[in-house]
Chain A
Amino acid sequence: MKAYHGSRVEKDKDNTVMKISKTVEKIKPSGIREFFDLAIGMKDVISLGVGEPDFVTPWNICESAMFSLEKGYTSYTSNKGLYELRLAISRYLNNKFSLSYNPDQNILVTVGVSEAVDLALRAILNRGDKILIQDPSYVSYGPVSEMAGGKVILVKTNEASNFKLTPSLLKKHISKDVKAVIINYPANPTGVSYSRKELLALSKIFVNNNLIVISDEIYDELIYEFPHTPLAILPGMKQRTIYLNGFSKAFAMTGWRVGYACGPEEIISAMTKIHQYTMLCAPIMSQLGAIEALRGSGGPVLEMKREYKRRREFIVSALNEIGLSCNMPEGTFYAFPSIKSTGMNSMEFAKSLLYKEKVAVVPGTAFGTQGEGHIRIAYASSMDNLKEATERIEHFLKSRNYAEAVTRFARNRRGTTLK
C-alpha cells in the first residue's frame, strides 16, 4: 500500500515499486492524448473526429439481442465463438466474395478486429521479426506489433501517390527478415482503397517474398467507387492471408465489440490458443446480435452506405471549395484533406479549429509522421452537422487569412518605416 501513498514515491523513478515492463515503457504515449482530453472536455463541439458510425445499431439486431437476454443466454460460448455465428460468417463470405472458410477450422470470433490484430501478431511474430506497416495507418498496428516483439518497418506513403502502397514501395522495404505485412483497405484514416488490379500487383510481391499478410478489411462494406476485393481470393494469397473483419462499421455495432479472423488452420488455432487464455470468448449477447446482423440487415446496411456516399460527395466538394484540397476517398467514412495551404501543422490546425470554432477533427499525425499536413475528417455525422461544420471551417480559414493579412501588412509597414 505504501507505494500508492504520497507523490514522492511515484515521482522518484528509481524508488518506484511498480516497475513497468521495458516493452510497454518503450511504447510512446500517444502525443495527441492531451488534444483528446481537450476535445472530450469541451461542450457544444461538432465532432468530425469519431471513428464510428453515427447511426444506432439497426433495431432488428438490438431486438434480437434483447430477446436472447430475456431467454437467459448469458453464458460463455466455445472459445472460437458460437458455431451458428461461424457458420453464418462462412456463408456470408462465400455468398459475397466466393471466399470459402470452414467454420470449424478457419474462423475465430474475436472481441472486435482490435483483438484479432493483436492475436494475429502474437501468433506469428518472434522477437525481432520485422513487419511492414504503412505510415500513416490506424493507430494500433505499430504499438501492438512492438508489444508482440516485432520490429516495425514503416512504409511511408504520401499524398503524391494518394497514400497507397505500391509494389515498388514495398520492394524497397522488403528484406530477408521481413516476415509479415499489415494492410488495411478501405483505409483508416485516408479512405483510400485498392482496385482488384492494384491488389493483384501487390499480391505478387507478397507471394514472391513469402510474406504473411494481415488484411484488415473492416470497412469493406463502405466502398463507393468499385467493388471490394478481399486479398484472400487472389492467387496464392489464401494460405498466407489472415483476413480480419467485423461488425462495427458496416452494421454500426462498435460498442458490441465483435469481429472475426479467418485464415489457414494452423494460424487460427494458434490465435485461438491466445484468445482462450486472454479473452476466453466474445460476449454471447454480441455474438447473437452478430448472427442477426448477417441474417437480416441488408436493407439498413445499404441505406447507411447510400447516406455515407452522399455525405462524402458533400464534404469533399465543400472542403475543396473552401480551400482545403482533398482527394475523393474511395471508401470508409473518412476524408483526409491537406491543410498545408494554411501554413499550420496538423496539431496547430486541429487545436485552433477546436478552440475558435468548436469543430473537432483528428490531426493527421495521430496516424504517423506522414500524416503531417493533413487532418482526418469523419463524415459519419448528420448532414446538418456537416453543413454547420464546413461553414465554421470556412469562417476559421477566412478569419485566419484576415489575421495573417493584417500581420503581413503590419510587418511590411514596419519594414518601410524602418527604411
Chain B
Amino acid sequence: MKTLRNPLSRVSRSLVFGAVACLSLAGNAHAAGTTVRGTVKMPDASRSTRLYHGYWRLENGNVPVQTAGGAKAETVVVLENVKGAHPPSARTITIELGGLDARPRLVITGPGSVIELKNTGKVRHELSTPDKPEVMHLETLAPGQTRRQRFDAIGDYVIRDSEYPHIMICVLVVGTTYFSAVDDKGSFSIANVPDSTATLKVWARGKWVAEQQLETGSLGKEELTIKVVSQREREKAEQEAKAAE
C-alpha cells in the first residue's frame, strides 16, 4: 500500500534540514575530528506530530497515517563548550507565516542575526516571546506585514502566536557551529568535532529536553543514545529520589 506524505510537512522539514545542514557545513568545513553520532529517543508523548491534542486522535482505518513532520521535525542536537568552537556568523533569516503555519519553525544562528517574520497568510498573528518579553513584546502582525527582530545574545528564544498557539518559532542563538537536526528516526550526526570535552544538549518542542557531558575524543565510532524523559517521568524520578533520601 502506498503511503502518501503531507507535502507541507515535507517542505517544512526540508527547510529545517536545509538551514541546519548549511550552517553545519559552513561552520565545520575547515576542521577535522570526531563525528558525534547517535539517536535521540523521545518519550512516547513527544513522538506525535502535534503539540496540542484534543480528546481523540483516531486512524482512518483504510490508509496508513503519516507519522513524520510536524512538531517532530523540530528537534536539534547542539554540542556546546567544544574547544575552539566559534559562533555562526550573523545573518538575516526570513520566516514566512501563512496557511496557519510558520516556515521554518526552527532556526539556529549566531549572535546578531535578524529574524524577519513575514505574514503571507490571510489572518493576523500576534507574536511575542512570552518567556522573554523584553526581547519581543506582543505585537499584531497583519497579513502582508513583516516584523524584524535582532537577536544579539546567545540563548534560546521561542516566538509564540497567542492567537494560534501551535505556531511556535524557535530561534536558537548559539556560540558553536557543532549542531545537527534530528531525522524522523531520531538520528543525528555532527562531523569534525575536535577532541574535547563538550556538553550535548537536545532541543525539542520549544525547550531543552536533555543534556549530557561528552568526551568527544573517546567516542570513536560509538553511537550515542540519548533518552529523553518526559517531564512527568522526571518529576516522578525526583520524587522517588527524595523519598529514598
A binds B: no
Which residues of B line the A interface, CB within 8 A?
none
Interfacial residues, chain A to chain B (CB-CB below 8 A): none
